[in-house]
Structure 1
Amino acid sequence: MGCTPPPHVRISCLTSNVRVDPSSLSFSMWKEIPVPFYMSVYFFDVVNSDAVLQGAAPEVRERGPYVYRQFRHKNSISFNNNDTVSFRERCSFQFQPERSRGLESDHIMLPNILVLAASTMMEHRPMSLKLLMTLMLTTMGQRAFMNRTVGEVMWGYDDPLLDLMNKYFPGTLPFKGKFGLFAGMNNSDSGLFTVFTGVKNLSRIHLLDKWNGLSKVNYWHSDQCNMINGTSGQMWPPFMTPESSLEFYSPEACRSMRLVYQEQGVFQGIPTYRFVAPNTLFANGSVYPPNEGFCPCLESGIQNVSTCRFGAPLFLSHPHFYNADPVLAERVLGLHPNAEEHALFLDIHPVTGIPMNCSVKLQLSLYMKAIKGIGQTGKIQPVVLPLLWFAQSGAMEGEPLRTFYRQLVLTPNILYYTQYVLLALGSALLLIPVVYQVCRQEKCYLFWSGSKKGSGAKAAMQAYSESLMTSAPKGAVLQEARL
């Protein structure tokens, strides 16, 4: 362990073993997370797309989960002079058919995001441009809904509209080639993170200093909403209390998020604190004024992320609009929000700040409506239509769990309590000479000798008692009683 048991042994051992330092026990865990992470994706298959074009309320059927093993590995690690370390984390995904309910070849009916997003962006353009766009979309065979495979929606498909926009409107979209909702996440990283190591100041460990060299983003309309706060979302500072909160920056959501303490628990024998999303996480500005910077807003419980998603009218929320304005779920048939299935949580070991069990669940939705002049949008009534929701989950298990318990929970506790055992033993050793000196006095000798059988001992006790009752002559010396 490299630690000796001083008075604050548990704190000192944990301090040296949780910091981001190649010599610490948790460094290898930080560099390459040993916890198996899985991403489970659920699609909302639109079962009445033709009726929606005629003005009917959309009806969806949840499909999935389609489960992917997520591999994370930090690279480009560089330690800086200001007690920080910079790194990139590369992610890759591998489909897990044995855990899934379906295959990547399954076909799903979904809104055509490119068509509907482009239509919304053309809403306030001249009618002539809208008619031209209608003609162009018709020529390319584009419609408001598309029937694609799960694999295509996830990792990308060729789209002539995408090629056309990149040719005639370069820079409008942040990507080229294939279009897919998760295409930019596979075999890639989420930017350059710079976090504090905790070597000089443990209270700042894992907290973000910069992301891509920035201390704040410029997607939103207030300094508070643009702040890059918390950690990168994997580990937090140690020694948490129920008053602590979990804050982290999500590049995918383009914002920082804050979770709050809910309750204590135990995971595989390890004490944990459970943190959950507050009701205000995706609340609009009228319900929670600090979120006004994320607006323009619609109903409370969904966040407009169009400013960081190439202007497309996309919204982030809890699955099935859980914790949102009930009217959102009422406008889409087939949604059933409930806490058990759709609430997110993180179970953290409070002493080290390391997650033991987590399930982060988010939903991506598209705002769509009929745009006058663009025939592909028909008579679609304004609605926020869910596209999919996903759960990123992981739980420490197997040998990593045993190693964590042994080195970061059990051993510090043993050393912590050992100091009290040693203190008790030390006190006992100090008392031995004191007791020995007391027992050398005549009273002690006679007390023990009186407990022995025999007339000689009894006579000695009686003689001693009588001597106490008579005054000794001045200068006389009491004779020691012999056994």
Structure 2
Amino acid sequence: MGSRAGVRWATAALGVTGLLCAVLGAVMIVLVPSLIEQQVLKNVRIDPSSLSFNMWKEIPIPFYLSVYFFHVVNPEEILKGEKPQVQERGPYVYREFRHKSNITFYDNDTVSFLEYRRFQFQPAKSHGLESDYIVMPNILVLTAAMMMEDKPLSQKLLLTLMFSTLGERAFMNRTVEEIMWGYDDPLLSIINNYLPNMFPFNGKFGLFSELNNSHSGLFTVFTGVKDFSRIHLVNRWNGLSKVSFWHSDQCNMINGTSGEMWAPFMTPKSSLEFYSPDACRSMKLVYKEAGVFEGIPTYRFVAPPTLFANGSVYPPNEGFCPCLESGIQNVSTCRFGAPLFLSHPHFYNADPVLAEAVIGLHPSDQEHSLFLDIHPVTGIPMNCSVKLQLSLYIKAIKGIGQTGSIKPVVLPLLWFGQSGTMEGQTLRTFYTQLVLLPAVLHYAQYVLLALGCALLLLIPVVCQIRSQGPEDSTSQSSLVAQPDQLPSPCTPLLMDSGSRQPASHKA
């Protein structure tokens, strides 16, 4: 009897355990996705209590700025009307440090901040030194010449005389450091004295001088604490809800985020939109493919072919015109009137005539396309490489001798890539809390459900095995009930003691 009672208790325990596992697994299947979603929403919003706040405030990802210059090989021949020939020099790599300050929260679910940037040259990662000399177009001279194109001849001759007196030429030979961070130019001093609003430079002139130890404007973005649907979206930039650089409301709109984080729970139908102060416009990247970065699932977003297309190829871009060939964007309206153009490096994804007009350009999808790898569940970038090229439109201006017989051409000045990759302790923490733990919970719920069902299905099997135990010998049949008369340990005893009849004895 003791063994039968033990079997009953073991069977009961098996049933209870199986039922609990099955119920717990089913409950987890229902609740875990919503719990994970709540945790993600809690930790990606801009709030001091969120997991990602410190990452948003002081970006731990090491960013690098890699600059490639187009050294002009034949400046004298260009002045005679020949095709320009360039040679790519670099990269000259700078570590980029970013941090936010003046962080202010508002009652309308927004926060404003200034993000400061500082650059530090990295000789070990560079192919050259900042003391290297580069021959490139003299932007100040050629810009001033273009601005005088429709002026009276007398004014042009006066400008030519001033250039000659100051020793200014159409091409210059400057060091990398001077081109990047600024150099003294007597022409700039004169322009600032007589035309104080023409250039925003009060001191040295450099292509990146405005970026070092400075910020990219006052951003005001939605925190997502009260209204998650607008998380990270830009509300205003420098107090503006739209800019005034372009010729259509659509092109002037400030759309998307500030370019650091996006809304979570992305799908292949999602897009990445952000406002770039450096490009003076909003940009949109599109989904390309799914991938994996250091064990973390990612979505790769790339620039569509229409990003810098002109208005004739892509009508919504008509507001960025006046345009030249497709694939380059005129940014003169936000760059002190200089005939500067933005594009992909080596005129990748642009009209082929642009690259054919300059010897030494070789557009390549692998080398010159830009991408961002985003963790789709959180909207946080894992790996990014943004590559852009700055070019100058040059041509001969009648009456200004320094421009010679230059044939109209969009001449590349440099291209740069901004790259950043999550690594180290930040990557490990991110992987553990936002990838590994949700994955464990995801699989645990199905394991528990399967285990519970298996245990429940095992009960009748055990009962069947116990009910079909070995038969007793015939010599004990009068003392022990036959197996088919024994109650199963898996069922209750249906006969109580009062129903049993005592055995009869002969007198």
TM-score normalised according to structure 1 size:
0.90
Aligned partner (choices 213, 238, 253) of residue 187 of structure 1: 213
Which amino acid is 1:185 matched to?
L
Aligned partner (choices 341, 356, 359) of residue 330 of structure 1: 356
Contact persistence 2:472–2:482 (CA under 8 A): no
Give the equivalent residue in structure 2 for 1:384.
410
Give the equivalent residue in structure 1 for 2:378.
352
Aligned partner (choices 85, 101, 121) of residue 59 of structure 1: 85
**Cα deviation code 1:52-105 (max 9, x no counterpart):** 001111100000000000000011111111111111100000000000000000
**Cα deviation code 1:19-41 (max 9, x no counterpart):** 11111111111111111100000
Give the equivalent residue in structure 1 for 2:483.
461
Superposed CA RMSD in Å reads: 2.4
Contact persistence 2:93–2:121 (CA under 8 A): yes
Partner-residue secondary structure (3-state), 2:432: helix
Q: 4+ residue stretches of structure 1 with deviation over 2 A?
A: 412-429, 446-450, 452-459, 461-465, 476-479
Give the equivalent residue in structure 1 for 2:491.
none
Shift of 1:435: 6.4
> Does residue 85 in structure 1 map to residue 111 in structure 2?
yes
**Aligned mates of 1:380, 1:370 — CA distance in 2:** 5
Give the equivalent residue in structure 2 for 1:448.
466
**Aligned mates of 1:464, 1:348 — CA distance in 2:** 67
Shift of 1:454: 2.4
Partner-residue secondary structure (3-state), 1:192: strand
Identity level (%): 72
Aligned partner (choices 311, 325, 340) of residue 366 of structure 2: 340
TM-aligned CA distance change 1:45 to 1:451, over 3 Å: same
> Does residue 308 in structure 1 map to residue 346 in structure 2?
no
> Does residue 271 in structure 1 map to residue 297 in structure 2?
yes
Give the equivalent residue in structure 2 for 1:118.
144
Name whichever of 26-35 and 282-291 sits farther off.
26-35
Partner-residue secondary structure (3-state), 1:253: coil
Shift of 1:424: 6.3
Partner-residue secondary structure (3-state), 2:155: helix
Which amino acid is 2:469 matched to?
S
**Aligned mates of 1:449, 1:182 — CA distance in 2:** 87
Which amino acid is 1:460 matched to?
Q
Name whichever of 193-202 and 35-44 sits farther off.
193-202
TM-aligned CA distance change 1:449 to 1:73, over 3 Å: same
TM-aligned CA distance change 1:448 to 1:278, over 3 Å: same
Which amino acid is 2:370 matched to?
L
Which amino acid is 2:103 matched to?
I
Which amino acid is 1:403 matched to?
T
Give the equivalent residue in structure 1 for 2:222.
196
Which amino acid is 2:141 matched to?
V
Task: Tell me which of the two structures has the higher relative contact order, counting C-alpha pairs closer than 8 angstroms and 6 or more residues apart.
Answer: 2
Shift of 1:275: 0.4
**Aligned mates of 1:427, 1:201 — CA distance in 2:** 41
How do residues 200-219 of structure 1 correspond to structure 2 at under 5 angstroms?
A: 200-219=226-245
Which amino acid is 2:90 matched to?
G
> Does residue 408 in structure 1 map to residue 463 in structure 2?
no
**Cα deviation code 1:425-463 (max 9, x no counterpart):** 77789x69x969x99xxxx6x973541452358961356
Partner-residue secondary structure (3-state), 1:135: helix
TM-aligned CA distance change 1:165 to 1:145, over 3 Å: same
Shift of 1:298: 0.1
Which amino acid is 1:358 matched to?
C
Partner-residue secondary structure (3-state), 1:200: coil
Partner-residue secondary structure (3-state), 1:191: strand
Shift of 1:246: 0.4
Which amino acid is 2:472 matched to?
G
Give the equivalent residue in structure 1 for 2:504.
none
> Does residue 361 in structure 1 map to residue 361 in structure 2?
no
TM-aligned CA distance change 1:463 to 1:397, over 3 Å: closer
Partner-residue secondary structure (3-state), 2:129: coil
> Does residue 222 in structure 1 map to residue 248 in structure 2?
yes
**Cα deviation code 1:171-222 (max 9, x no counterpart):** 1111210000000000000001111111122232111111111110000000
TM-score normalised according to structure 2 size:
0.86
Contact persistence 1:41–1:67 (CA under 8 A): yes
Unaligned residue ranges in structure 1 (runs of 5+): 466-475
TM-aligned CA distance change 1:478 to 1:391, over 3 Å: farther
TM-aligned CA distance change 1:416 to 1:81, over 3 Å: farther
Contact persistence 2:471–2:483 (CA under 8 A): no
**Aligned mates of 2:485, 2:62 — CA distance in 1:** 84
**Aligned mates of 1:208, 1:216 — CA distance in 2:** 10
Unaligned residue ranges in structure 2 (runs of 5+): 1-27, 488-497, 502-507
Give the equivalent residue in structure 2 for 1:472.
none
Contact persistence 1:9–1:412 (CA under 8 A): no
TM-aligned CA distance change 1:464 to 1:177, over 3 Å: closer
Partner-residue secondary structure (3-state), 1:130: helix
